[in-house]
Amino acid sequence: MQLAPLCTDPFVISCTFVCLLLLLALPYLNPNSVTGRRLPPGTRGVPVLGALPLVGPAPHSGLAALARKYGPVMYLRMGTCGVVVASSPSAARTFLKALDERFANRPVMASAEDMSYGCQNMVFANYGPKWKLLRKLSSVHLLGARGVADWASVRRDEAGRALRAILEAAEAGRPVVVPEMLVCALANIVGRITVSKRVFDTQGDESNTYKEMIKTLLTGTGLFNISDFVPALSWLDLQGVQAKLLRIHIQFDGLVTKWLAEHTATSEGRVREGRLDFVDKLRAINDDEGAETITEVNIKGLITDMFTAGTDTSSIIVEWAMAEMIKSPSIMARAQEEMDRVIGRDRRLEESDIANLPYLQAICKEAMRLHPPTPLSLPHFSFEECEVDGHHVPANTRLIINIWAIGRDPAAWEDPLEFRPERFLSGPAAKIDPVGNNFELIPFGAGRRICAGMLAGMVFVQYFLGMLVHAFEWRLPDGEDKVDMAETFGLALPKTVPLKAVVKPRLVPAAYT
């Protein structure tokens, strides 16, 4: 059987193209035409692309500007997709508490297809039995309270290595590039607890290449990619996002495959000595009769989740907090005074000290409020229609929570653009914690899809930030008089210009050994 040749008549091609555009544009001619019911306020946008061009190159601030015009619950057409955006604490509470289960799914996203191994990981999997199993295993063996406590010695060891590397830089008169140092340390922690491997012997070209890979992954999957909102055009990859992410995925998958192969070759020794890591425990699931199978693809997806979410996002919060303190030396001085009083200068900070350092905790909360690691939540998706504040939200709608806008909402925060940790020491904000119960501060999200690594992330941020502030004096390199606070939008929100500083030790020499 032979296929008919494609028509090449210019008139026929033009008519076909116009018909396609009209079909795609139909929902924008009347935003209520699909349901005939009152949708939340919003804008029709432009034909075919809808509101996509209106969000701009920084969608977190673009959507916040639209929310100031249309309200904290907006309904936007983006491509062929309906999107509801929540931009206030009360709106977030409605969707992530009252309607939590209904919006617990993820939409299909062309930009996430490769890095998620076809949605076989925990982050992008749909809500269901396999996602629940992956979430449970991650919480029990790695990310829950017991798992975090079990790996405290690994964090302490890698923190000590980072301290000594910074001390060497100080003695040599070299500035410290804060995110490079943090990512190297955090990647080694994740490597040791997942595959029993320090993935980088030292900070250098290899760890910096890894950081750029993670940054590209997080930036690319966070972009408002036309292919994600107009699936019919995904094969064109108009912005080149999918091609770039595929190249990075192939690189990263090569690393994960290598680590898992090395892990398999050394598994007998770990089993014999009873020192099982996360992957050992995942693979043991398949040895239990009747247990649901965890495939090697699931394991690869989980490892990718741990390395992407467990390194760059935590380092981003610490970097922003350090930048704010270097910019405001009085905050740094107060934090150091608290640590000197509680800990002294003859030893390094330990995780057990954090409970006695309320100002350090306040600095971490303030950094998460003003510079959330994920400015927009990963998109939620509902297959069912619902009512919100008297408005109809159709089935097959995506939900975006603007975490960045909520943290800067003047109705929720006094002087929201100021970095003022003191707000968390007294008054109403003193009882607010970023664990998903107080919707004014949800850097890790909330509800069923709250970040599984929230507890580990809090420990990473508080411990590493406290260690850096306690152990060293920080200042900008000679010739620089201002901290560049520009940000780069993506799934995460890093500083555009990495923070670089000159350091001087504060503790007795023995504290760094």
Least confident of 4-13, 39-48, 108-117, 478-487: 4-13
Total Cβ atoms within 10 A of residue 296? 14
pLDDT (mean) for 14-35: 45
Q: Which residues are annotated as a binding site for heme?
A: 451
* Mean pLDDT score, 137-164: 93
In whole angstroms, what is the distance from residue 302 CA to residue 299 CA?
5
Residue 391 φ/ψ, nearest 5 degrees: -110, 150
In the predicted model, is pLDDT for residue 173 greater than 50?
A: yes
pLDDT tier for residue 19 given thresholds of 50, 70 and 90? very low
Looking at residue 183, its amino acid is: V
Q: Does CATH place domain 24-512 in 1.10.630.10?
A: yes
For 216-241, the pLDDT digits (tens) are 777 766 668 888 898 888 888 888 88
pLDDT value, residue 289: 52
Q: Count the helices and strands in the chain (H runs, E runs).
A: 19, 9
CB-CB contact of 104 with 380 (8 Å): yes
The three-state secondary structure class of 179 is helix
The per-residue pLDDT for 202 is 67
Q: Give 76 or 215, the one with higher predicted confidence.
A: 76
- Range of lowest pLDDT (233-242, 386-395, 409-418): 233-242
Every domain of the chain and the residues it spans = 24-512
CA gap 443, 171 in Å, rounded: 37
Distance CA(199)–CA(188), nearest Å, equals 6
Burial letters 482-511, b for 16+ CB under 10 A, else e: ebeeebbbbbbbbbeeebbbbbebebeeeb
Compute φ and ψ for 381, nearest 5 degrees.
-150, 140
- φ, ψ of residue 82 to 5 degrees: the values are -90, 135
The share of the chain scoring above pLDDT 90, in percent, equals 66
Q: How far apart are CA 93 and CA 63, in angstroms?
A: 18
Q: Taking CA 37 as the corner, what is the angle to CA 36 and CA 40, rounded to the nearest 5 degrees?
A: 130
Residue 205 is predicted with a pLDDT of: 67
Q: Are 160 and 463 in contact (CB under 8 A)?
A: no
Cβ distance 411 to 88 under 8 Å?
Answer: yes
Q: Indicate if the pLDDT at residue 409 is higher than 90.
A: yes
Asked if residues 39 and 95 have their Cβ atoms less than 8 Å apart, the reply is no
Look-up of token digits 């790695």: 142
Report the SS3 class of residue 332. Answer: helix
Other C-beta atoms closer than 10 Å to the C-beta of 381 total 19
**Per-residue model confidence (pLDDT) at position 4:** 33
Binning pLDDT at 50, 70 and 90, where does residue 292 land? low
pTM above 0.95, yes or no: no
Residue 274 has pLDDT above 80, yes or no: yes
Three-state secondary structure call for residue 505: strand
Backbone angles phi, psi at 434, to 5 degrees: -85, 50
Q: Tokens 């970095």 identify what position?
A: 419
Which of 17-31, 206-220, 344-358, 477-491 bottoms out in mean pLDDT, i.e. has the lowest?
17-31
Q: How far apart, in whole angstroms, are the C-alpha atoms of residue 327 and residue 467?
A: 19
As a whole number, mean pLDDT of residues 439-444 equals: 96
Q: What is the dihedral of CA 282, 287, 288, 291, to 10 degrees?
A: 60
